[in-house]
Structures are given as structure tokens and as C-alpha cells.
Structure 1
Amino acid sequence: MTPALPTVPDETVTSWALAAADGDSEAVDRFVRALQRDVRRYVAYLADDVQAAEDLTQETFLRALGSLHRFEGRSSARAWLLSIARRAVVDSLRRASARPRLSDTDDWQSVAERAQPTGLPGFEEGVVLMDLVDSLSADRREAFVLTQLLGLPYAEAASASHCPVGTVRSRVARARLALADMVTEDFSPATEAAVA
């Protein structure tokens, strides 16, 4: 298992973004490398499509680098970038909903499930966790992912979500309760007896 990369402090990332805005190419590289993983995880959850995450991550950075000259550092670069990522996902979902969906098989869901890798350590648990998080409402899922999975402070999550900090706190609390209830239901004594 590969160890998680340390999170670069927001002050450092913001200073790189400001230096990149002034034309420092090394700062651009550091800025992208520091936030690429967070952006990829965020867009994968928002879009509910791991396959599209790479494209959405690239789209986010293309938009950000194109408008980096307007970044003034009033918020952290991480919050600024995640708000751009959110807009990229929304735009992508809008474009996708306008296109007809084509499938050359009647049972496309089974085909997609068989294409996923299996037998990896933690695969089943990851699927269960993703199903639980995916079952949350979009607002609660976004707040939960930003704060609990990406580790953003509530103020930055509020900035990225364009809502008050109190709303983010409420959504996270409700998401936690909902997830705890779902886990409790899944592991109730009746369920365990049925499995045994």
C-alpha cells in the first residue's frame, strides 16, 4: 500500500498560486502537483464517475491556469480551485444531460460491473463505502467529501460550495448521522443472523 502524500499547507499552495500568476513556471508545477490529487478525488465524488475524473481534473486545471492572473489570494488557492472544479463538474453534467445516451447492449450495468477490477484488498469495503456516500443527498455528499475526505476546513468548504459555514456544518452533521444509521441498519443482529 502506497503511503498517502502529505497535504501541503494552504498558505504554501496560495503563495505558489500567486507566484504562478506572476509568471513563475516552477510555482505553476508545484501548485498543480500539490492540488491534483484533491481535485481528482473531489470531481470523482461530485460527478459520481471515477472514469471522468481525469478529464474533469484536467479541465479544472486548464480553467484555473487560464484565469490564474485574476487570482488575488483573498481565499486559499485550494478553495478557489475546488470552486472551479465544482463549476467544471456542473458544466460537464449539463453537457452530458443534453446528449442522448447510447448503449449497444441491453444489460449495460452488468457489463460495467464486470469491467471493474475485483479481488483487490479492500475492494468490497470500498464499494460499500462509496455506495453509502453516494446515497447521501448531493449537498450533504459534497460537504462530507470536502471536509471529511479531503480534509478542508469548514470555512474553505463553505467557500467552495458557495454557502455559509453553518450550512456546511449542518450538512456534515446530517451526513454523519445518515451514514451511521445506514451502517447500523446493515449490521443489525437480524442481518448478522441472516448472513450466518
Structure 2
Amino acid sequence: MSYGPHGDDERVTALALAARGGDRGAAEAFVAATQRDVTRFVAHLAGPADADDLAQDTYLRAMRALPSFEGRSSARTWLLAIARHTVVDHLRSVSRRPRTADLADWASVADAAQAGTGARFDEQILLDQLIGGLDPDRREAFVATQLLGLSYAEAAEVVGCPVGTIRSRVARARDDLNAALADGTPTPRRHLRAV
């Protein structure tokens, strides 16, 4: 379920606080209410092949950290910050291991595209390629604000940087995406992501 700026955040935060108190039903409802956004966020940051594992790891970390969640920020913002740290840790780990293949698994890309917004398959693949080709900082800000619907302030809290930095990264991501579309390349030329 995706959230608007004033959507389900209060309910999700209430579920997290109830889960913190030991309510298993609230914990299950919390996961169900946030799972799509977490999976989309980590998929756009790390790639669709690792999205399910990273989402699961995010929830394991969140459940361990739940006793310290006090509800000062929305539970969704708190959870996406955990997801971001999970992806960063994963990417560090992957960068230390030798790679056996350089190509993404087309089936997982297709599955991720079909789980999207209902756009035509080829359009979704192109969008995933374009977003995947962005500089990681720009991609993170763009996905958080434009795909997940976080406000700039919420995205800044998730990423741990000033709001102005988020605004700048989103604007530059848009410029990169527009330039890539204008010249017909599937990925922004300046910031190709290693697969």
C-alpha cells in the first residue's frame, strides 16, 4: 500500500507502537501495511533481484529495533531509514565479493515491473532502466519522493541529509531522466550504475 503525504501514516505508526508493546497482530498488520513501499524502495536502490531478501532483512532489523521506536517520527519514515541502512550494508558486502555475472535476471525485472503501477510492460522496464541508471544519491531521493510519495522533509529524515539536498537531488535526477529520454539512451549517461 502506498501512502500520500497525509495518508495512512498515523495508523501505521499506531500499529508500530502497538507491536512494540508485544501485539503480534499489530506487528503483522504493520508489515502488511508497509511491505510494498519497503520492497519498492530497496528494489530501486539495490536492484529487483535482491529486493525480497533486503525487505525481509529490513523487517528483521525493524522488529529488533521496535522496542526503541518512540513514535517521534512516522513509523514509515523510521522503517525506510532502516531499509536504507540495510541496502547500504548489503552493497558494501556485495562490493567485497567477486561477481559471477554482470547482467540482471530478466525474470525478476519483469516480475518487478508487473508489480508496479499498471503501466505497459515495456514502459515499466524502460522506467526501471532509467531510474536504475541514476547516481545512487539521486535515485534514492527520487524514489523516496516521486515513487513512494514521501515529502521532501520525510525523505531528508530517511536519508539523513538536509531538505535542500533532497530537493537538489530530485531536480538533478529529473534533469538526468529527461536528458536520457531526449537522446534515446536507456540510462542516464553520466551516472551508470554497476549491476
- TM-score (normalised: structure 2): 0.82
* Percent of residue pairs bearing the same amino acid type: 52
> Residues 112 and 32 of structure 1: is their aligned pair in 2 closer, same or farther, counting only changes over 3 Å?
closer
Greater Rg, structure 1 or structure 2?
Answer: 1
One-letter amino acid of the counterpart of residue 170, structure 1 = S
Corresponding pairs, count: 176
Partner of 1:192: none
Give, in angstroms, the shift of residue 79 of structure 1: 0.7
Instruction: Tell me how large the CA RMSD over aligned residues is.
Output: 2.3
Partner of 1:75: 73
**Uncovered stretches (5+) of structure 1, i.e. residues with no partner:** 188-196
Structure 1 residue corresponding to 2:184, chosen from 179, 183, 186: 186
C-alpha distance after superposition, 1:57-116 (max 9, x if no partner): 00000000011000011111011101101111111111112222236xxxx64x945886
User: In 1, distance between residues paired with 2:107 and 2:151?
Assistant: 38
> Residues 50 and 72 of structure 1: is their aligned pair in 2 closer, same or farther, counting only changes over 3 Å?
same
SS, match of residue 99 in structure 2: coil
> Residues 85 and 115 of structure 1: is their aligned pair in 2 closer, same or farther, counting only changes over 3 Å?
closer
Structure 2 residue corresponding to 1:97, chosen from 90, 95, 98: 95
Structure 1 segments (4+ residues) deviating >4 Å = 111-118
> Residues 33 and 102 of structure 1: is their aligned pair in 2 closer, same or farther, counting only changes over 3 Å?
same
Give, in angstroms, the shift of residue 123 of structure 1: 2.3
User: In 1, distance between residues paired with 2:108 and 2:44?
Assistant: 20
SS, match of residue 159 in structure 1: helix
Contact kept? 2:40, 2:51, Cα under 8 Å: yes
User: In 2, distance between residues paired with 1:16 and 1:174?
Assistant: 36
Structure 2 residue corresponding to 1:62, chosen from 54, 60, 63: 60
- 2:36 aligned with 1:37, yes or no? yes
C-alpha distance after superposition, 1:11-57 (max 9, x if no partner): 1111111111111111111110010000000001111x212110100
> Residues 59 and 114 of structure 1: is their aligned pair in 2 closer, same or farther, counting only changes over 3 Å?
closer
User: In 2, distance between residues paired with 1:142 and 1:60?
Assistant: 16
User: In 2, distance between residues paired with 1:165 and 1:139?
Assistant: 13
Partner of 1:169: 167
> Residues 18 and 115 of structure 1: is their aligned pair in 2 closer, same or farther, counting only changes over 3 Å?
closer
Give, in angstroms, the shift of residue 185 of structure 1: 2.2
User: In 1, distance between residues paired with 2:18 and 2:109?
Assistant: 41
Partner of 1:128: 126
Structure 1 residue corresponding to 2:155, chosen from 154, 157, 166: 157
User: In 2, distance between residues paired with 1:82 and 1:176?
Assistant: 22
Partner of 2:25: 26
Partner of 1:16: 15
User: In 2, distance between residues paired with 1:130 and 1:117?
Assistant: 10
SS, match of residue 182 in structure 1: helix
User: In 2, distance between residues paired with 1:61 and 1:83?
Assistant: 12
**Uncovered stretches (5+) of structure 2, i.e. residues with no partner:** 186-195
